[in-house]
Amino acid sequence: MLELQTMKLFFAILALAANVAVAGYAATAVAARWSEGASAIRDRIHDMVLGYELLFGAMVAGTAMLGSLYLSEVAHLIPCTDCWYQRIAMYPIAIILGIAAYRRDSSVRVYVAPLAIIGGAISTYHYLIQWFPNLEGTTCSTVVPCTSAWFRVFGFISIPYMAFSAFTLVLVLLLIARANESR
């Protein structure tokens, strides 16, 4: 069994990689409105993932799902209520995008995007109350309060941060799929 510290570092690096991908794509997409060079870079990004957007989204959601299962079932970190809500949003995304990738059915964006947006909102709230516990009116559980963080890798990456990173990367991949479909 891999040591928990190693796995936390691995998951944190994946979250940072997702953040870099999302921020890089967002910057390129915004700059593409005014710059032909940025537009060419954005188009190259679209071409690189063309036909694989849903598969990559399924891989991101599947990795998040397996990571959460590792943390709870192998590392025995008990999920709080907000963690369960994030799981409720992430697990179907992994399955739906996996099936959609196999069937090449990009119409699932209509089903997946709301789940990712809701999951991202819950992750954001959860991350905020970990840093600012006074924002939560009542604790969700006396056993595992949502305001406590099991860990903070690099001083800021916690489980809800990782979930938010996955939700946002899935959303970006859905946006790219939509853009590629209309090209």
Question: Looking at this protein, which amino acid is placed at residue 175?
Answer: L
For residue 151, what pLDDT is reported?
87
Which domain, by its residues, includes 8?
4-182
For residue 25, what pLDDT is reported?
95
3-state DSSP call for residue 147? Answer: coil
Number of independent structural domains in the chain: 1
Tokens of residue 163, six digits: 């979930």
For residue 144, what pLDDT is reported?
77
Res 75 pLDDT > 80 = yes
Stronger pLDDT, 183 or 147, i.e. the higher one: 147
For residue 131, what pLDDT is reported?
92
Question: Looking at this protein, which amino acid is placed at residue 9?
Answer: L
pTM of the complete model? 0.93
C-alpha–C-alpha distance, residues 169 and 147, integer Å: 25
pLDDT in tens, 92-127: 999 999 999 999 998 999 999 999 999 999 999 999
C-alpha–C-alpha distance, residues 43 and 34, integer Å: 14
pLDDT in tens, 28-71: 999 999 999 999 999 999 999 998 999 999 999 999 999 999 99
